[in-house]
Amino acid sequence: MTSEKTPTAKSARRRDPYRRSAAGFIAPGVLLVAVLLYLPLLWTTFLSFTEYNGLGDPEWIAFDNYVEMFDDPEFLGSVFNTLLWVLGTLLVPVGIGLGIALLTWNLKGGSWLRLPFLIPYALSGIGVGVIWSFVLSGDGALDQALAAFGVTDTPRWLVDAPLNTVVMILATAWQGVGVNALLFTIGLQSIPKEPLEAARMDGANGFRLFRSILWPMLRPLTAVVVGLSIVASLKTFDIVQGMTKGGPGRDSETLALTMYKESFVNTEYGLGAAIAVFLTVVTLVASILYLRQQLSSKHGG
């Protein structure tokens, strides 16, 4: 039969040496991702439906961990603090970074002006937390500086909520402003000179030039910066651990810190896994919604 002798397209693709070589190169990476990412995710999802303290076998309890999680007012406080982090890290580090880039990208020696803002990015989150703890603790550097000007009735920066979360967001901004300014500067330097010169000849300067030319051309880069900031703020952990450890009590906890404490301090691995699954879902939903909004804006002109 002719049809039996003629190879099908599918079998031809299987015998294609290029495809077999490509599959051979890709397979180790796919296997590594499956072992290090997807298997732990599946195990964590399974644990979220169990009661497990690290000893013996996990006991299946269905949705009890999720019910307990949403009945806990401290967990809802962590959700509120995490939302504050998302809003604050969008407004402060991204906004100030954009402002610094706009003010320095056309200046002679602008890179030297941006350098002091970039140095803190080399520090770890814990290191930033330790430095700012010295500054903001009771009778710390800030209180002593204010006292030198006669201001003695200062707020309890790291004690009163939500002030403690706000000052930690500002500490994070101190670390993140420089890299955002660097990214926006790269975006500004990639803008062709012709449309800028044409706009200036038409009389566009200052805010009008920014709104009409610079901002539309920076939009793709802004989408990346904002997307990274959202994901980073949703998993904020190290600087909170370094400055307040989530306290006083649990007033300044974020979702990531609550997950850590339930899992590794209280050994409630099932409840900690439920919080981890919730945080993963929130991060995925936020990323998808943001990317869809950016893509619809792009296609809509």
pLDDT tens across 208-266, in order? Answer: 888 888 888 888 888 888 888 888 888 888 899 988 888 888 889 999 999 999 999 99
Q: Give the alpha-carbon dihedral of 184, 188, 189, 192, to 10 degrees.
A: 150
Burial 18-48 (b: 16+ CB within 10 A, else e): eeeeeeeeeeeeeeeeeeeeeeeeeebeebb
CA dist., res. 213 & res. 240, Å (int): 39
Q: How confident is the model at residue 14 (pLDDT cuts 50, 70, 90)?
A: low
Domains, the chain, ranges and CATH?
A: 72-267 (1.10.3720.10)
pLDDT at residue 6 tops 70: no
pLDDT of 282 above 70: yes
For residue 295, is pLDDT > 50?
yes
**Cβ-count burial of 183 within 10 angstroms (0-12 exposed, 13-18 middle, 19+ buried)?**
buried
Any idea which of 7-16, 118-127, 180-189 has the lowest mean pLDDT?
7-16
Instruction: State the Cα–Cα distance between residues 161 and 171, nearest whole angstrom.
Output: 16
pLDDT at 2 over 70: no
The residues near 276 (Cβ < 8 Å, ≥ 6 apart) are 44, 48, 259, 263
Four-CA torsion 268, 124, 156, 139, nearest 10 degrees = 130
The percent of residues in the chain predicted with pLDDT above 90, rounded, is 24
**Mean pLDDT along residues 156-162:** 88
- Is 259 in contact with 272 (CB distance < 8 Å)? yes
Percent of the residues in the chain that have a pLDDT greater than 70, as a whole number: 93
Q: In this model, does residue 5 exceed pLDDT 60?
A: no
Asked whether the predicted pLDDT for residue 288 surpasses 80, the reply is: yes
Give the residue, 9 or 46, on which the prediction is more confident: 46
DSSP letters spanning 42-98: HHHHHHTTEE--SSSPPEE-TTHHHHHHHH-HHHHHHHHHHHHHHHHHIIIIIHHHH
Q: Is 182 in contact with 114 (CB distance < 8 Å)?
A: yes
pLDDT of res. 107: 82
What is the predicted pLDDT for the residue at 11?
A: 67
Q: Is the pLDDT of residue 270 over 90?
A: yes
Residue 257 and residue 276 in contact, taking contact as beta carbons nearer than 8 Å = no
**pLDDT tens for each residue of 96-136:** 998 999 888 888 888 888 888 888 888 888 888 889 999 98
pLDDT digits (tens, 9 = 90+) for 52-102: 888 888 899 999 999 999 999 999 999 999 999 999 988 888 889 989 998
pLDDT band at 3 (very low <50, low <70, confident <90, very high): very low
pLDDT band at 7 (very low <50, low <70, confident <90, very high): low
For residue 167, what are the CA distances in angstroms to 84, 132, 156, 157, 161?
A: 11, 9, 11, 7, 10
Quick one: average pLDDT of 37-63?
90
299, pLDDT greater than 70: no
Q: Determine contact, residues 142/131, Cβ cutoff 8 Å.
A: no
Average pLDDT, the chain: 85
**Structure tokens that stand for 107 in this block:** 């200046």
CB atoms within 10 A of CB 275: 26
Q: Which amino acid is at 22?
A: A
Distance CA 233, CA 217 (A): 26
Q: What is the dihedral of CA 61, 40, 42, 250, to 10 degrees?
A: 50
Q: Is the pLDDT of residue 1 over 50?
A: no
Q: How far apart are CA 139 and CA 157, in angstroms?
A: 10
Considering all CA atoms of the chain, what is the largest pairwise distance in Å, rounded to the nearest integer? Answer: 100
